[in-house]
Amino acid sequence: MNIVCCIKQVPDTAQVRIDPETNTLMRAGVESICNPYDLVAAECAVKIAHESKGRVTVITMGIPQAESALRECLALGADDAVLLSDRAFAGADTLATSAALSAAISRISESDPVSLVICGKQAVDGDTAQTGPGIASRLGYTLLTNVISIEKTDSSKNTMTVRRETGAGSEIIESKLPALITVELNCVEPHYPSLPELVASVRKEIPVWTAEMLNVAPGKIGLKGSPTSVKTIFAPPQRKGGPVFDCSESGAAESVRSLLKKLLKDEPGIVELAANGGKSNA
Ligand code: FAD
């Protein structure tokens, strides 16, 4: 089975802050990492390829430094990597990003048809979860989102069976291939690469594909192909801490008294609510 895994390099969001004056991301000195969902996607892809005697190609669209995220996935066992990097891709929104990525997948399909594309559910910086569905719709692949486990792949029947998370629980779906799945963080746990895996990943050559190498109209990619724009970005206002009540043995009685006083003052309907077992009459 020929598998493509789409990965994105993102700033380590645990370190990113928003400048309160300008409402822009303060990226200086912030480490770049492979999107955590995409490490899960790569591990999944490698497992499926191992079972189906297939191949995994990891691809990313990004700046030259995004190569390091590709190497992380090569260390997890991916066979090949491709970096899409060109000024023509810059300023892409999710529509233009998925146009470039699906054109790259079509190019990979020319030598051996791609049966499965695996994406993370979302990128931890952009967070839209639109790129995977955008690629699936362009390629005409079946889309299975929020996958929490791969139950089975059957090359002879050309199907795969996955468990998806739904709002109310989970469901198991069998789908015809080709398909695109987006994976949740708990789908598999990426392993720690061994030393030989790390060495092999560093030695691997990673080709860089430019926009001209893809069969995609210039107006569909980058800023030109992006109908949306980010107007502003801001952190939610910080909440003030609530009152703190001393629950030690000596202070407990006084704390309960002050808590009740506060509740009766701030929430006048609370006695009636408690008397009704938490059910409101309104
Ligand atoms: P999601 O849709 O949440 O990602 C889901 C999954 O899709 C990921 O887990 C991964 O598997 C895959 N995926 C997402 N992005 C990529 C990728 N690049 N390569 C491979 N796989 C991927 N961002 C910039 O870095 N530079 C810019 O100049 C820039 N300009 C922008 C301009 C506009 C007008 C807008 C609206 C956005 C811009 N962005 C830019 C953000 C960029 O559009 C998004 O980061 C990108 O489209 C992916 O969306 P997302 O981050 O929400 O990913």
Given pLDDT bands bounded at 50, 70 and 90, which one contains residue 281?
A: low
Spatial separation of the C-alpha atoms in residues 12 and 126, rounded to whole Å: 12
Contact between 90 and 218 under an 8 Å Cβ cutoff? The reply is: no
Q: Which residue is associated with the tokens 């989102």?
A: 145
Closest-CA residue, ligand 1 atom 29, reads: 91
Pocket residue to mutate for ligand 1, from 43, 131, 182, most atoms within 8 A of Cβ: 131
Alpha helices in 25-66 (DSSP H): 36-52
Backbone angles phi, psi at 59, to 5 degrees: -130, 150
- Do you know the residue count of the chain? 282
Measure CA 254 to chain center.
Answer: 49
- At 44-93, the pLDDT tens digits run 999 999 999 999 999 999 999 999 999 999 999 999 999 999 999 999 99
- At 234-255, the pLDDT tens digits run 777 888 888 788 888 888 888 8
Closest-CA residue, ligand 1 atom 7, reads: 131
Spatial separation of the C-alpha atoms in residues 35 and 41, rounded to whole Å: 10
- At 137-194, the pLDDT tens digits run 999 999 999 999 999 999 889 999 999 999 899 999 999 999 999 999 999 999 999 9
**Which residues lie with the beta carbon below 6 Å from any ligand 1 atom?**
6-8, 35, 37-38, 41, 60-62, 90-94, 97, 101, 119-120, 122-123, 125-132, 226, 228-230
| Predicted model pTM | 0.85
